[in-house]
């Protein structure tokens, strides 16, 4: 027992001395490459084993031949271990350099391409890093695409504003100069025209202000529980004069009595914008229909979402269907973009701001806005979370 304790003590002292020297070497070389660090670690392991073995051998072995044999075996093991450490270090360093070069493409607007692993598979840590870099590359590419789309949308919005503001401003200038020169016979009519143009300008400025609040995330909502038929009735009442003037029938009979938690003023504006667009592009004797139904989890691929009623609570789908004849398929993905206006004659007016505001308000309510073509026209669909069940009133 005493001999075993002495062997353990001598082995520990020899290995501890080598480990201490290795720790000092690692600290001094901590800013060097991975190859150097792996070489130092391997050297420490081999030296610790070698030192412990020699310490035990000097204390316990009496034969010089046995001491020589042990020393030779340990030396050969040291050579193989150092060679393996150098090979591993150079391979890992090469993989790291390849990842570094591949990552540099991010700043140049390129995409990340994982380097070829060669004959050996890369370590799990480097493989995980490669996957994360690839995912980050995809996110950056999507972000660049969104940025380019937003820049294009801004240019179109500026062009649209400069064009559409010039017309009422030119009319106001001409009317004011005519009034100033006394060239107007019917002053009241001219003043009414000027008021109409001013109201048009005011509407444009209001839409721009509303859109800027939406984009800045500063849209203040006051949501509370409201019935969908109430929202539809109010929107239909507001659009009824324009529908009568245009000879268009408004239909809102297929509206299910469903509750939603929204800001009534903002959602009424959303429905009003859609109804006005639909009425203007529906020919006389045509029909604009408003409908609402519930969509449960699993229906049409819907997964339930996470609305106020909790996961799987379902949604309310509000739709406005017109008789405009349809929107070109290539224009459908851009209908809700800011500042975009379709060149096709059947593209609904107001797509520059009105429909962008619609989407912004709906998304602020954690909903979505979409459009699709139907027979004879198009259908705008607003998907909103279904309100949570009302709490029961306690008995008095």
Residue 115 lies inside a defined structural domain of this protein: no
Lowest mean pLDDT, pick from 20-24, 203-207, 245-249 = 20-24
Domain that holds residue 378: 224-385
Residue 120 lies inside a defined structural domain of this protein: no
Residue 96 lies inside a defined structural domain of this protein: yes
Same domain, 240 and 360: yes
Residue 51 lies inside a defined structural domain of this protein: yes
Kindly tell me if the per-residue pLDDT of 275 is higher than 90.
Answer: yes
Residue 307: the pLDDT is 44
Beta-bridge partner residues of 377: 374
Residue 350: the pLDDT is 42
How far apart are alpha carbons 56 and 50 in whole angstroms?
A: 10
Handedness of CA 187, 192, 195, 200 (dihedral sign): negative
Tokens representing 353 are 């701001």
pLDDT in tens, 190-201: 888 888 888 878
Q: CB of 7 within 8 A of CB of 57?
A: no
Q: Would you place residue 206 in the very low, low, confident or very high pLDDT band (cuts 50, 70, 90)?
A: confident
Strand duo 287-295 + 306-307: pairing: unpaired
Strand duo 310-311 + 287-295: pairing: unpaired
Tokens representing 377 are 């026209």
Q: What percent of the chain has pLDDT over 90?
A: 20
* Chosen domain end from 215, 242, 262: 215
* Chosen domain end from 215, 235, 260: 215
The CATH number that applies at residue 209 is 1.10.287.130
Residue 236: the pLDDT is 92
pLDDT in tens, 67-102: 777 777 777 877 777 777 777 777 777 777 777 777
Same domain, 194 and 250: no
Residue 233: the pLDDT is 92
Same domain, 69 and 209: no
Same domain, 74 and 176: no
Same domain, 241 and 367: yes
SS3 at position 133: helix
Residue-by-residue DSSP string for 166-191: HHHHHHHHHHHHHHHTT--S-HHHHH
Query: Who's near 15: CB < 8 A, 6+ residues apart?
Result: 48, 49, 51, 52
Say which residue, 378 or 126, is predicted with more confidence. Answer: 378
How far apart are alpha carbons 361 and 41 in whole angstroms?
A: 61
Same domain, 195 and 154: yes
Same domain, 44 and 187: no
Kindly tell me if the per-residue pLDDT of 228 is higher than 90.
Answer: yes
Q: Would you place residue 347 in the very low, low, confident or very high pLDDT band (cuts 50, 70, 90)?
A: very low
Same domain, 374 and 234: yes
Kindly tell me if the per-residue pLDDT of 320 is higher than 70.
Answer: yes
Same domain, 232 and 208: no
Q: CB of 342 within 8 A of CB of 351?
A: yes
The total number of structural domains in the chain stands at 3
Residue 62: the pLDDT is 52
Residue-by-residue DSSP string for 4-61: HHHHHHHHHHHHHHHHHHHHHHHHHTTTS-HHHHHHHHHHHHHHHHHHHHHHHHHHH-
Q: Mean pLDDT, to the nearest integer, of 5-11?
A: 64
How far apart are alpha carbons 73 and 326 in whole angstroms?
A: 86
pLDDT in tens, 350-374: 445 788 888 889 998 999 999 999 9
Residue 356 lies inside a defined structural domain of this protein: yes
Backbone angles phi, psi at 172, to 5 degrees: -65, -40
The CATH number that applies at residue 276 is 3.30.565.10
Same domain, 191 and 320: no
Same domain, 67 and 28: yes
Same domain, 340 and 377: yes
Tokens representing 72 are 């030779």
Residue 157 lies inside a defined structural domain of this protein: yes
C-alpha distances (whole Å) from 98 to each of 78, 114, 117, 381 are 30, 9, 10, 49
* Chosen domain end from 187, 215, 243: 215
Kindly tell me if the per-residue pLDDT of 305 is higher than 50.
Answer: no
Kindly tell me if the per-residue pLDDT of 65 is higher than 80.
Answer: no
Say which residue, 192 or 57, is predicted with more confidence. Answer: 192
Q: Mean pLDDT, to the nearest integer, of 33-38?
A: 67
- H helices of the chain, in order, are 2-28, 34-60, 64-103, 124-180, 187-215, 228-246, 264-281, 354-364
């Amino acid at each position: 027992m005493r001999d075993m304790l002495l062997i353990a003590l001598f082995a520990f002292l020899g290995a501890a001395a080598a480990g201490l020297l290795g720790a000092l070497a690692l600290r001094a070389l901590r800013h060097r490459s991975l190859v150097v660090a792996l070489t130092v670690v391997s050297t420490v392991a081999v030296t610790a084993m070698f030192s412990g073995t020699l310490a035990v051998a000097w204390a316990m072995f009496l034969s010089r031949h046995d001491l020589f044999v042990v020393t030779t075996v340990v030396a050969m093991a040291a050579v193989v271990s150092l060679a393996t450490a150098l090979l591993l270090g150079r391979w890992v360093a090469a993989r790291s350099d390849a990842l570094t070069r591949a990552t540099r493409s991010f700043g140049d607007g390129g995409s990340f391409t994982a380097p070829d692993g060669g004959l050996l598979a890369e370590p799990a840590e480097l493989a995980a890093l490669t996957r994360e870099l690839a995912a980050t590359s995809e996110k950056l590419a999507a972000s660049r695409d969104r940025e380019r789309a937003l820049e294009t949308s801004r240019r179109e919005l500026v062009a649209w504003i400069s064009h559409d503001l010039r017309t009422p401003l030119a009319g106001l200038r001409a009317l004011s100069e005519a009034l100033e020169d006394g060239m107007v016979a019917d002053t009241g009519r001219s003043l009414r025209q000027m008021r109409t143009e001013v109201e048009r300008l005011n509407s444009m400025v209001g839409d721009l202000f509303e859109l800027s609040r939406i984009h800045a995330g500063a849209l203040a909502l006051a949501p509370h529980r409201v019935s969908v038929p109430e929202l539809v009735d109010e929107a239909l009442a507001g659009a009824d004069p324009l529908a009568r003037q245009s000879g268009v029938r408004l239909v809102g009979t297929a509206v299910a009595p469903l509750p939603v938690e929204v800001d009534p003023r903002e959602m009424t504006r959303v429905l009003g914008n859609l109804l006005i667009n639909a009425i203007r592009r529906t020919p006389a004797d045509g029909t604009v229909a408003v409908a609402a139904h519930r969509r449960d989890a699993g229906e049409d691929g819907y997964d339930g979402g996470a609305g106020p009623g909790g996961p799987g609570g379902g949604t309310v789908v509000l739709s406005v269907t017109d008789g405009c004849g349809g929107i070109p398929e290539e224009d459908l993905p851009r209908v809700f973009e800011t500042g975009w206006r379709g060149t096709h004659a059947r593209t609904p007016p107001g797509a520059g701001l009105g429909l962008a505001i619609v989407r912004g308000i709906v998304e602020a309510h954690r909903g979505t806005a979409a459009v699709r073509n139907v027979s004879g026209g198009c259908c705008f669909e607003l998907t909103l979370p279904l309100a949570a069940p009302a709490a029961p009133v306690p008995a008095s």
